[in-house]
Amino acid sequence: FNLPKRTISVFDIPPCRERINSPPFEYHTPENCLSFIKDILFISEKYNLTLCFKTKKNIIKTSTHPSYIKFINSISNKSNVLIIPPETCPYDLIKKTDISIAIPFTSTPMISKVLKKPSCYYDSYGIINKNDKGAHGVEIIHGLNQLDTWVLKQINF
Whole-angstrom distance, CA of residue 117 vs CA of residue 109: 9
Whole-angstrom distance, CA of residue 101 vs CA of residue 9: 6
67-102 per-residue burial string, b: 16 or more CB within 10 A, e: under 16: ebbebbeeeeeeebbbbbeeeeebeebbeebbbbbb
Whole-angstrom distance, CA of residue 26 vs CA of residue 18: 10
Split at pLDDT 50, 70, 90, the class of 59 is low
Phi and psi (nearest 5°) for 120?
Answer: -150, 165
Identify the pLDDT of residue 112: 97
Phi and psi (nearest 5°) for 75?
Answer: -95, -10
pLDDT in tens, 116-129: 999 999 999 999 99
Split at pLDDT 50, 70, 90, the class of 47 is very high
- For the ranges 55-69, 77-91, 98-112, the lowest mean pLDDT is seen at 55-69
Split at pLDDT 50, 70, 90, the class of 61 is low
Split at pLDDT 50, 70, 90, the class of 63 is confident
Give the global pTM. Answer: 0.92
